[in-house]
Amino acid sequence: MSKDVWTIVSIVIVAALSALSVAAISWGIDNHEIGFGFWIGSLLTMGIMSYLYADNPFYKFTEHLFVGVSASYWIATYYWTQIDTNLLGRLFPEKTSFLGMTIDFSRHGHEQNLWYLIPLVLGLFMLARLIPSIGWISRWSLSFVVGLYAGLRSYGYLQSNVMQQAKETFRPIIIPGDFWAGFNHLVLVVGVVSALLYFFFSKEHKGMFGTISRVGIFFLMVSFGAAFGFAVMGRISLLIGRFDFLIRASTAENGYPSIVVTVLMVAILSILAMKNKGKGEDEDELFEP
């Protein structure tokens, strides 16, 4: 039997067993919607975590589902918050008739502004990529978006990072009655100056200049380490949230969904692994379609 067939069969088996478990174990739950949500959440969570073992059908199904749901969600969100509210609400602020249909965007309370025809045209140009013969038109829209974003981002970055950091370096180092405030200002000045000198490549880093540059390396490593640690802790907090969900879901009143899903998933992956191992395939490629 081919791997594609095994993938489909595995997903169908897990879905069927999970549905039967929900019907058999969770029948007496007062709120069936919450109980069913725990089952779905456990299945999707364990499907993503199964990638720690190997690429497998459960991970592929969960990954594709996540991408599809996310794309659909953001399309719907952008339509109702941007196209419907900001674009159509400003082009048609009153009730109008079009091809026998009544269009009413007056609920947004905007005044008519025909300048919004420009973003409408640029948006339509983006859709030209779907037609290869005129796909080059979309480059106009992309150039406008990239240029505008780069300009706005550069201005914001200059104000929030460059100018603000330069302003902070002009604070007094000696503050009567507040030693630690002055010490903090001194550390800030030393860190900024030494880091800037580290990137000064017109002079060889030797002597006093090399010593200051090495101090700059220390400040850069502390900065990079803090940023990396912040990113890791953010991911760890998400992982803790998933573990907390699995623990709360594994209760008798919910039908032990995370435990049942984990056992079934491990059993099916074990069967697939043994079947592919007999063919002499590499473990990392056991579940590749």
pLDDT at 218 over 70: yes
Write out the E strands in the chain. 96-98, 101-103
DSSP type of residue 227: H
Which residue is listed with tokens 């969770």?
26
Highest mean pLDDT among 28-37, 189-198, 221-230: 221-230
Residue 6 binned pLDDT confidence (cut-offs 50, 70, 90)? low
- pLDDT higher at 215 or 274: 215
User: What's the Cα-to-Cα distance from 143 to each of 64, 114, 163, 250, rounded to whole Å?
Assistant: 31, 22, 28, 52
- List, in sequence order, every residue forming a beta bridge with 32; answer none if it has no partner: none
Residue 29's pLDDT is 47
Look at the chain and report how many structural domains it folds into: 1
Domain that holds residue 164: 3-285
User: What's the Cα-to-Cα distance from 65 to each of 48, 58, 249, rounded to whole Å?
Assistant: 11, 11, 21
Which helix (H) or strand (E) covers residue 266, if one does?
helix 257-277
State the pairing for strand pair 101-103/96-98: antiparallel
Per-residue model confidence as pLDDT tens digits over 15-58: 665 555 555 554 544 444 556 778 888 888 988 888 888 888 88
User: Tokens for 268?
Assistant: 């099916």
Residue 11's pLDDT is 61
In this prediction, residues 253-279 reach a mean pLDDT of: 80
Per-residue model confidence as pLDDT tens digits over 46-93: 888 888 888 888 888 888 888 888 999 998 998 888 888 888 888 877
pLDDT at 209 over 90: no
274 touches 55 (CB < 8 A): no
- pLDDT higher at 105 or 59: 59
Range of lowest pLDDT (4-18, 196-210, 231-245): 4-18
Average pLDDT of the chain is 80
**Considering Cα of 112, then 118, then 122, then 125, what sign does the dihedral take?**
positive
Spatial distance between the Cα atoms of 170 and 168, rounded to a whole number of angstroms: 5
Per-residue model confidence as pLDDT tens digits over 114-143: 888 998 899 889 888 888 888 899 999 999
Residue 216 binned pLDDT confidence (cut-offs 50, 70, 90)? very high
Residue 169 binned pLDDT confidence (cut-offs 50, 70, 90)? confident
In this prediction, residues 189-207 reach a mean pLDDT of: 87
In this prediction, residues 192-214 reach a mean pLDDT of: 87
Residue 229's pLDDT is 93
